[in-house]
Amino acid sequence: MQIIRSVQEMQALAYELRSKGQIIGLVPTMGALHEGHLSLIRLAAERADAVVVTIFVNPTQFAPNEDFNKYPRELEADVAKCAGAGADYVFAPTHEEIYPKGYSTYITEEHVAKPLEGVSRPTHFRGVTTVVAKLFNICRPDIAVFGQKDAQQVAVIQKMVADLNFPVDIVVGPTLREADGLAMSSRNRYLTPTQRQEALAISQALFKARDMVAAGERRKDRLVAEATHILSQQRRIRVIYVALVDRRTMEPVREVEPGNAVLAIAVWMEETRLIDNIVL
Ligand code: PAF
């Protein structure tokens, strides 16, 4: 497996792979890789001839008060994990490669990015769309794999790809969970054992909603009320939102239309922000 640090080298490689007719699969990450990421790499390896994993902690998607500085950086361990999961290349650029001095161009999706995460993190998706568009231009993928764990990120990127005619198929990998239900996330490592225990309420709330829908419940009010009730039992959790939304537009829906609705949750577990969701 090869590690690439410069944009120029990555673009030359992408050109060479494409001219040989190889299908390029891209898995964009910020590193601190866990099994959830590795499942996305395996998914890319099933569908592409050459798998490129990008590792870049993207400063533009963090607000000044967020965890950019403390976000875990462990390139060596990540590279070994990528190799084990079937990646062919790791593109790990420096900050200056992606945002050279004087950088001033940004991409903003103006609809899907607005609710939910967009309310409390108004500049977050501008950073995500900008860096993902750049990674598409640098790595020239045929497919790009993202995790359903970040449901709104998936919807925003799908909209950007459609609106800007990127010739990239977006593949969505399922959320991987720990045995007790907690969705895998690089931020779980910030949790103390007590916080981690209380955080189980998030997946319990989602699973309860799934069970209610299986039993015939469709109404947003009932599903959101029950999920909120489960979260409110935990002293350390502060709910940011519990919302039933359309999985593509992120607009609120009043009833579940099976397969098209997402119940999305964001909470503060004391100083750690956690998100999770379930497609209903
Ligand atoms: O999901 C992530 O890790 C990031 O938002 C992404 C897509 C790699 C862009 O920085």
pLDDT digits (tens, 9 = 90+) for 233-255: 999 999 999 999 999 999 999 99
- Write the residue with the smallest CA distance to atom 3 of ligand 1: 29
Regarding the beta carbon of 61 and ligand 1, being less than 6 Å apart is answered yes
pLDDT recorded at residue 124: 98
- Write the residue with the smallest CA distance to atom 5 of ligand 1: 128
- Write the residue with the smallest CA distance to atom 1 of ligand 1: 29
In angstroms, what is the span from residue 31 Cα to ligand 1's centroid?
Answer: 9
In angstroms, what is the span from residue 215 Cα to ligand 1's centroid?
Answer: 35
pLDDT recorded at residue 23: 98
Shortest-distance atom of ligand 1 to CA 58: 10
Structural domain spans, the chain: 2-173, 186-279
Shortest-distance atom of ligand 1 to CA 135: 9
Shortest-distance atom of ligand 1 to CA 29: 8
Regarding the beta carbon of 132 and ligand 1, being less than 6 Å apart is answered yes
Instruction: Tell me the DSSP string of the chain.
Output: -EEE--HHHHHHHHHHHHHTTPPEEEEEE-S---HHHHHHHHHHHHH-SEEEEEE---GGGS-TTSSTTTS---HHHHHHHHHHHT-SEEE---HHHHS-TT--------STTSSTHHHH-TTHHHHHHHHHHHHHHHH--SEEEEETTSHHHHHHHHHHHHHTT---EEEEEPPPB-TTSPBP-GGGGG--HHHHHHHHHHHHHHHHHHHHHHTT--BHHHHHHHHHHHHHT-TTEEEEEEEEEETTT--B-SB--TTTEEEEEEEEETTEEEEEEEE-
Let me know if the fold of 2-173 is the same as that of 186-279.
no
CATH 3.30.1300.10 assigned to 186-279: yes
Regarding the beta carbon of 79 and ligand 1, being less than 6 Å apart is answered no
Report, as residue numbers or ranges, the catalytic residues. 37
Q: Which residues of the chain have pLDDT under 70?
A: none
pLDDT recorded at residue 56: 98
2-173: which CATH number, 3.40.718.10, 3.40.50.620, 3.30.565.10, 3.40.50.2000? 3.40.50.620
